[in-house]
Every structure is written in structure tokens, then in C-alpha cells.
Amino acid sequence: MKNRSPEIEKSFGAEKNNALHRLTHFLQGVFISLYYNDLPN
């Protein structure tokens, strides 16, 4: 797959970054809610 066009490379990279960003955001939300639930009231 060395003859892929830069256009495809670029769009694939953007897709990957977007998915990674969403996953990171989701995990942060999970960790924050777990953290606050563990705090003594």
C-alpha cells in the first residue's frame, strides 16, 4: 500500500485523530465521574 495518495493519507489521519480525540474525551469523563463518586461526601 505504498502508492496511496496524500489525499487518502490525510483523510485517514484525520479520521484516526478524531476517533482518538473522542475516545480520550470519553475516558476523561469516565475517570472524572469515578473519581468524584469515590470522594467522601
Whole-angstrom distance, CA of residue 8 vs CA of residue 15: 10
20 vs 1, which has greater pLDDT?
20
Look at residue 13 and tell me whether its pLDDT is greater than 90. no
Give the amino acid at 12. F
Mean pLDDT score, 17-25 = 93
Place 2 in a pLDDT band, splitting at 50, 70 and 90: low
Look at residue 41 and tell me whether its pLDDT is greater than 70. no
Whole-angstrom distance, CA of residue 21 vs CA of residue 23: 5
Place 38 in a pLDDT band, splitting at 50, 70 and 90: confident
